[in-house]
Chain A
């Protein structure tokens, strides 16, 4: 029980340390992170408007949570949950390891440049999938067993909730792990994992495929969103160090100094080397392939030939635009490095290798039930306190041991009939003596103290390497309250009975509100207002504009940039309201063009114009019944596995003992 609870508590602690001011009352509004007090379900929440369903199903799930909890509390719970999930997942993946080893991996996986940069840019849905990744890998390993445990599918729910990028990264990793597992039942594992990934992707996958033609994946975004060097050591070093996001504004403070950059790179290289040299790590082959593939994709945009190739791919099929913001594909490498750090911690602390930690279930095993070879009783003294042999540190077999699966009479194998449960077997005693653990209490105490010091250093290393993540990136994730003007506009729009959509001006997607400390953020009004809001979803990165994806936004672009009168064309296009927000000095250019509309509200932070008699507008390229069907299938699949899988998925067959890969 304690083995499973402390990683969650540690994750929450790390989350509190990282989020800091973000946990104060109010909302964090930073780049892509937008939570609002009372979001409303709309066609956009389900990807029915013809634009890319980037926030499906995350927006719908947040809306559902906000129905029972305050919006700002939902935001804090989601953010804290990411840290708890990531930390406990990394520890769970190494469930057979000793506590210091699990601790090292858990802290590293929770506190690293990847988490810092994606948190500061507000991509919480992606981080949700990242946090669930170790759980999903664990589930992919367990999928080889004939009988699945009841909550098996739960490991994929964070990725499913996070949406398309969360699931793409998860699928890349778990499919590699399942396909390249050395265990029996590999085909079964691959089939089950693939089905889970596809079915849980349906809510965003089907709207993506059915949206109307002619919505381009803008090639301009390839250069704008390519990975970049955020340290003096160059872009490849940044990616290896798990950073390198395209946006220079979200690099954690102090990260780009030469010494921290060198230390990050050294730790990364050491972790990868340890991963490569250590056998028996969970999902080793598949994780290596996923990490290499992810790194290759992430590095694609660094060189001009790579960018040209990516532009060519997007030209062939706009769906390849998911490769534009490529740095996020280093997520599998983060997990690989976390396991490498665990291997380093095992070597440094002298913790026993997984085979020696008798009684702990394997990473992919059903919770609770130990395998036949693990029914050993309390650990022998040597298993608890001793240092492993050199061969155990590096994963190579020690003298007398055989590479690969341990012999039946080995430390973890079934005891012979003459052995007493709970007592150390002759082999265990011999092993302890071989390693010199029949030592005096004084030297045992000294060894324990040494191990405590080493554990503290290994566990604190990620925090020392990256102090810039603490306290909400040192104040970057502070909270604010939405202006009252927003609530007034929302009330007026909600009270109006005339159908029609909302146009949001100025004609840009991101804002730097004075009341939000001029921090860039996505405009929250599309989620705030209870109607379909059309806005310019093109994004501006320095001097580059990455084109809009919403068909209605693209249709209106020429009109809004022309200087022509707006009310008449907007009436014909089915708009009932025009809302202005952001810097009020920017409103004049539009207010003078809204002579045909009446002003419904004006405040310092938002203004509302009403257009009478708007034309009826039908939009949406995705049939609603199809969208509902995707949700029905996905939810049914989840319910089946949560409720009925144990009684429906085959008969029991003995669980295979994990082998080194």
Chain B
């Protein structure tokens, strides 16, 4: 039973990781004029 839980959890986590990596690899829009003096944006 514990093994089954672990395998299911592993598969779900692997799917989650795949989604995360796909999102990572997807090109994100880069602002044309990045502010020069910003600490960050909310």
Chain A interface residues toward B at CB < 8 A: 31, 121, 224, 228, 246-250, 253-257, 259-260, 263, 347-350, 450, 453-454, 456-458, 460-461, 463-468, 474, 506, 508-512, 518, 520, 539-542, 582-583, 586
Do B13 and A464 touch (CB < 8 A)? Answer: yes
Complex: how many Å from CA A453 to CA B24?
28
Complex: how many Å from CA A472 to CA B28?
18
Do A510 and B39 touch (CB < 8 A)? Answer: yes
The closest CB in chain A to the CB of B5 belongs to: A348
A-B contacts, 13 of them at CB < 8 A, read: A249-B41, A259-B15, A259-B16, A263-B12, A348-B6, A457-B7, A457-B9, A460-B13, A465-B13, A465-B17, A467-B24, A506-B37, A540-B38
Shortest A622–chain B CB gap in Å is 26
Shortest B28–chain A CB gap in Å is 8
Total contacts A-B at CB 8 Å: 119
Enumerate B1-42 residues with CB–CB distance to A below 8 Å: 2-3, 5-7, 9-10, 12-17, 19-24, 34-42
Shortest B23–chain A CB gap in Å is 4
Shortest A20–chain B CB gap in Å is 13
Do B23 and A541 touch (CB < 8 A)? Answer: no
Do B20 and A255 touch (CB < 8 A)? Answer: yes
Complex: how many Å from CA A89 to CA B31?
41
Shortest A657–chain B CB gap in Å is 30
Complex: how many Å from CA A257 to CA B13?
14
Do B42 and A224 touch (CB < 8 A)? Answer: yes
Do A511 and B36 touch (CB < 8 A)? Answer: yes
Question: Mostly helix, strand, loop or mixed at chain B's interface?
Answer: helix
Shortest B2–chain A CB gap in Å is 5
- Residues in A whose Cβ lies below 8 Å from that of B5: 348
Complex: how many Å from CA A248 to CA B41?
6
Do A540 and B19 touch (CB < 8 A)? Answer: no
Complex: how many Å from CA A468 to CA B22?
11
- Residues in B whose Cβ lies below 8 Å from that of A456: 10
Do A453 and B6 touch (CB < 8 A)? Answer: yes
Take A348-B6, A450-B3 as given contacts and tell me if A541 and B13 are in contact as well, using a CB distance cutoff of 8 Å.
Answer: no
Do B3 and A454 touch (CB < 8 A)? Answer: yes
Do A540 and B24 touch (CB < 8 A)? Answer: no
Chain B interface residues toward A at CB < 8 A: 2-3, 5-7, 9-10, 12-17, 19-24, 34-42
Do A253 and B42 touch (CB < 8 A)? Answer: no
Do B36 and A461 touch (CB < 8 A)? Answer: no
Do A348 and B13 touch (CB < 8 A)? Answer: no
Shortest B1–chain A CB gap in Å is 10
- Residues in B whose Cβ lies below 8 Å from that of A586: 36
Complex: how many Å from CA A510 to CA B35?
10
Do B2 and A350 touch (CB < 8 A)? Answer: yes
Take A454-B3, A582-B36 as given contacts and tell me if A253 and B13 are in contact as well, using a CB distance cutoff of 8 Å.
Answer: no
Shortest B6–chain A CB gap in Å is 4
Contact partner of A466 (CB less than 8 A), chosen from B15, B20, B36, is B20
Do A541 and B39 touch (CB < 8 A)? Answer: yes
Shortest A55–chain B CB gap in Å is 16
Contact partner of B17 (CB less than 8 A), chosen from A247, A248, A464, is A464
Complex: how many Å from CA A511 to CA B37?
5
Do B40 and A253 touch (CB < 8 A)? Answer: no
- Residues in B whose Cβ lies below 8 Å from that of A453: 3, 6-7
- Residues in A whose Cβ lies below 8 Å from that of B21: 254, 467
The closest CB in chain A to the CB of B41 belongs to: A542
Do B16 and A263 touch (CB < 8 A)? Answer: yes
Shortest B32–chain A CB gap in Å is 12
B23, B37, B41: most-surrounded residue (chain A CB, <10 A): B37
Do A541 and B40 touch (CB < 8 A)? Answer: yes
Do A348 and B20 touch (CB < 8 A)? Answer: no
Do B6 and A458 touch (CB < 8 A)? Answer: yes
Complex: how many Å from CA A539 to CA B13?
39
Do B23 and A512 touch (CB < 8 A)? Answer: no
Shortest A251–chain B CB gap in Å is 11
Complex: how many Å from CA A40 to CA B13?
47
